[in-house]
């Protein structure tokens, strides 16, 4: 069995259950889980406040849309390379992702982690989709909104993630050729999808 550190990267449609599945994988393999946690780390290491990373999270063009109200979001640290931009925030976040992956086995949710860590040999890149009915139901339950509102949020969320990923990476968000495995969580459900992925990950990384 290969005991070298490894990384699992999960891309996901909004409402597909990707985060829940990620937690199940992290619990099974007993590895660190990074979703929004990586934003806090990036903020701490850069000296910028966490809010500025949260506001721009997986969104391209954030600074162009709020440039006039930028200053309230800044922390006390130095500007990254003396300049704040979408690209500089991406670089800061990328450095935090690489540092965590170099230090220990972990799982990353979104944020182009599969592209950022493309040179790591021990990684598994997964994309999770789901049927629209299931996605709408999850978003309704989580945000306490109507199905119509959930559909709008899903459409906007997927577009934002796709624009972000397609801009910063060399792949295409949600396209099978970009990942090692794409899976529809509606087919097996959250728990069984996680079980299927565990088997796949163990075989690909020779963890058995």
Would you say residue 62 has pLDDT above 70?
no
In the prediction, which pLDDT does 110 show? 94
CA dihedral 93, 98, 99, 102 (to 10 degrees): 160
Q: Compare 1 and 37 and report the one with higher pLDDT.
A: 37
In the prediction, which pLDDT does 172 show? 97
Q: Which two tokens stand for residue 16?
A: 């597909």
pLDDT band at 86 (very low <50, low <70, confident <90, very high): confident
SS3 of residue 8 by DSSP: strand
In the prediction, which pLDDT does 1 show? 56
Number of domains in the chain: 1
CB burial of residue 20 (10 Å; 0-12, 13-18, 19+): middle
How large a percentage of the chain has pLDDT more than 70?
83
Distance between CA atoms of residues 21 and 55, nearest Å: 25
Would you say residue 166 has pLDDT above 90?
yes
29 within domain boundaries? yes
Would you say residue 72 has pLDDT above 70?
no
Would you say residue 140 has pLDDT above 80?
yes
Would you say residue 54 has pLDDT above 80?
no
Question: Please, are residues 207 and 2 in contact by the beta-carbon 8 Å criterion?
Answer: yes
Would you say residue 73 has pLDDT above 70?
no
Would you say residue 197 has pLDDT above 80?
yes
Would you say residue 191 has pLDDT above 50?
yes
147 within domain boundaries? yes
pLDDT band at 42 (very low <50, low <70, confident <90, very high): confident
In the prediction, which pLDDT does 99 show? 93
Would you say residue 123 has pLDDT above 70?
yes
In the prediction, which pLDDT does 81 show? 38
In the prediction, which pLDDT does 39 show? 78
pLDDT band at 117 (very low <50, low <70, confident <90, very high): very high
Would you say residue 25 has pLDDT above 90?
yes
Instruction: For residue 187, give the CATH number of its domain.
Output: 3.40.50.300
25 within domain boundaries? yes
CB burial of residue 88 (10 Å; 0-12, 13-18, 19+): middle
Would you say residue 38 has pLDDT above 60?
yes
56 within domain boundaries? yes
Domain that holds residue 26: 7-204
In the prediction, which pLDDT does 76 show? 44
Q: How far, rounded to the nearest angstrom, does the alpha carbon of residue 177 sit from its chain's CA centroid? A: 18
- Average pLDDT taken over every residue of the chain: 86
SS3 of residue 149 by DSSP: helix
1 within domain boundaries? no
Q: Identify which of 129, 97, 122, 127 has the alpha carbon closest to the alpha carbon of residue 202.
A: 122
Element (H, E) at 40: helix 37-46
């Amino acid at each position: 069995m290969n005991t070298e550190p490894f990384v699992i990267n999960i891309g996901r449609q909004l409402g597909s259950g990707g985060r829940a599945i990620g937690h199940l994988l992290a619990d099974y393999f007993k590895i660190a889980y990074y979703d929004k946690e990586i934003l806090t780390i990036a903020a701490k290491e850069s000296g910028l406040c966490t809010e500025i990373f949260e506001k721009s999270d997986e969104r391209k063009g954030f600074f162009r849309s709020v440039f006039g109200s930028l200053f309230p979001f800044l922390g006390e640290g130095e500007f990254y390379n003396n300049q704040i931009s979408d690209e500089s925030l991406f670089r800061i976040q990328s450095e935090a992702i690489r540092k965590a992956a170099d230090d220990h086995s972990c799982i990353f949710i979104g944020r182009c982690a599969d592209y950022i860590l493309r040179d790591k040999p021990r990684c598994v890149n997964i994309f999770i989709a789901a049927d629209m009915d299931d996605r709408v139901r999850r978003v309704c339950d989580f945000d306490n909104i109507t199905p119509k509102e959930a559909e709008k949020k899903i459409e906007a969320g997927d577009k934002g993630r796709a624009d972000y990923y397609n801009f910063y990476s060399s792949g295409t968000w949600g396209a099978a050729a970009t990942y090692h495995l794409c899976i529809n969580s509606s087919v097996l459900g959250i728990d069984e999808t996680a079980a299927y992925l565990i088997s796949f990950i163990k075989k690909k990384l020779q963890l058995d």
